[in-house]
Structure 1
Amino acid sequence: MRNLLSGLIVPVFLLSLWHVVTAQGWVNPQMLPSPWAVAHKWWEYICPQQAFEGGGVAAWLAWLISGEMVRDAAGSLYRVITGFLIGAGLGLPLGLWMGASPLVYRLWNPVLQVLRPIPPIAYIPLSILWFGLGNPPAVFLIALGAFFPVLMNTIAGVRQVDAIYLRAAQNLGAGKATLFLRVMLPAAVPYILAGVRIGIGTAFIVVIVAEMVAVNNGLGFRITEAREYFWSDKIIAGMLTIGLLGLLIDSGMNRLNNHLLRWHRGLEHS
C-alpha cells in the first residue's frame, strides 16, 4: 500500500497541474482539453451506444464488448499477441543456436547487425506492398519489432555464461546436449526474459504505428481518426488507454519474470 500511494504522488500532481492550466484558460481547449473533458470522452469511448437490455452476466458482457474502445483494444491486443508470438518464436531458437554455436554466430551476425538498426516503421511501405492492407502487414511489423530484442538478448545470455560453469560441467562428464540444456540455457533465462519483456513492449509500440496506416480499427486507427476531426479529447483518451494497457502488460510480465526467476540471485527475497 505504501508503494502504491507513493507511486500516485507524481500522477496526482501532474493531473492537478493539467487541471489548473486548463481551468485558468492558459491554453486553447482545442489543443489541450481539460481532464474532465477527456474523462467524459473516455467514458463515452468505453460505453456502447445502445442501451443495456436484459439481465445476467452474459448479457452485460455482450453489451460491454459492443463498445468501441473494447473492440479497438481487443483488435490491438490480438495483433500484439500474434505478432509477438511469431517474432519471439523465430528469435528465441535462432538466438539459442547462434549463442551456442560460434560458427552459426559468425555466419548470421553480419546480416543481422545490418538489419537490426532499421526501425520497423521503415518497413511500412514494403509491408503494404507485400501483404496489402489489414492484419497481415501489422502482424509482420509487430513480429519484426519483437524479433530483434528477443534474439539479441538470447544470444547475449547464452554467450555470457560464466566459463567456470562450463568447465565444471565438462569435468563432471556433461556432453554437449547436457551442457546446453542444464547449464547454458538456465543461465541465459534472465537475459531471455528481459528480451521478452522488451520485445512485447516494442510490439505494443509498433502496433499503434501499424494501425495508423494499414488497418481500419484498433487504438492507433482511432487516434488517427480523432486527429482528422480535431477531437483532441478522444486523442488523449486513446493515448491513456494505450498507456494503461501497456502498464498492465508490463506489470504482468514483471510478475511472471519474478516468478520464473525465484531461484536467481537478487530475486530470492523479492
Structure 2
Amino acid sequence: MGYPVPIIALIPVFMLWFGIGDTSKIIMVAVGTFWPIAVNARDAARQVEQNLVWAARMMGTSDWKLLWRVIMPAAAPGIVTGLQIALPLSLIITFVFEMVAGGGGLGALEIQGVRSFQSTQTYAAIIAIMLVGLALDRSLRVVRGYLLRWT
C-alpha cells in the first residue's frame, strides 16, 4: 500500500509531525528505503534453494538455526542488493529534505547558494553531494565484497 507513494511528497507531513531536525530526516529515510530492502529480502529468501532447507531439516536444524545458518547466508546477495538500491534513495531523500526544510546540510547549502546567486557555493555543494554519494557507494561495495566473499 505504501510502496507507490513517492516519499518526497510526504516531506511536509514529516515536517509537521517531527519538525525539521535530524529525527524527521532519519525517519523519512527509514520509511523511504524500507520497501526496496524488504522486497529484495523477501524475494531473496523465497529463492533459497529448497534442497538446502530440506537438507538442514533432515539434520534436525531448529527454525532459528535454519534462518541464521541457511536462509540468511543464501539470501544475503539479494539483501545486499536491496541495500545498494536503497542507498541512492536515502541520499535523494536526505538532500531533498534539506533543500525543502533547510536546517543545514549540503542540500540547504546548495539552495542557499542558488537563492543568493553564488554559483561557486552551489557547484561546491553539488560536487560535495557527488563525493558523498561516491564514497558511500564504494564503501557499500567493500562491505558487499567482505560479506559475500564466497560469491
TM-score (norm 2): 0.91
List aligned pairs for 1:54-65, cutoff 5 A. none
- Please say if 1:158 is aligned against 2:51: no
- Find out whether 1:250 has 2:147 as its counterpart: no
What is the percentage of aligned positions where both structures have the same residue? 35
1:196-211, aligned counterparts within 5 Å? Answer: 196-211=83-98
For residues 259 and 184 of structure 1, the distance between their equivalents in structure 2, rounded to whole angstroms, comes to 18
The 3 A distance-change label for structure 1 pair 222 and 208 is: same
* Partner of residue 219, structure 1: 106
Gaps of 5+ in 1: 1-113, 265-270
The structure 2 residue matched to 1:134, chosen from 14, 18, 21, is 21
Which deviations, in whole Å up to 9, do the C-alpha atoms of 1:91-121 show, x marking residues without a partner?
Answer: xxxxxxxxxxxxxxxxxxxxxxx10121210
Report the secondary structure of 2:150's partner residue: coil
The one-letter code matched in structure 2 to 1:155 is: R
Change (3 A) 1:183 1:124: same
Separation (CA, whole Å) in 2 of partners of 1:123 and 1:140: 12
Matches within 5 A, 1:80-95: none
Deviation at 1:167, TM superposition (A): 1.8
- Asked whether 1:234 is paired with 2:121, we answer yes
Cα deviation, 1:123-167, whole Å, max 9, x if unaligned, reads 111111111222222222222222222211111111111112112
| Structure 1, 214-223 or 229-238: larger mean CA deviation | 229-238
In the superposition, the TM-score normalised over structure 1's length comes to 0.53
SS in 2 for 1:230: coil
- Greater C-alpha radius of gyration: 1
Q: What is the root-mean-square deviation in Å for CA atoms of aligned residues?
A: 1.5
Aligned to 1:176: 63
User: How far is the alpha carbon of 1:250 from its aligned partner?
Assistant: 0.5
1:91 maps to none
Count of aligned pairs: 151
Whole-Å separation in 2 of the counterparts to 1:152 and 1:234: 39
Aligned to 1:72: none
Write the letter of the residue equivalent to 2:93: V
Deviation at 1:262, TM superposition (A): 0.9
| 1:137–1:214 contact (8 Å) kept in structure 2 | no
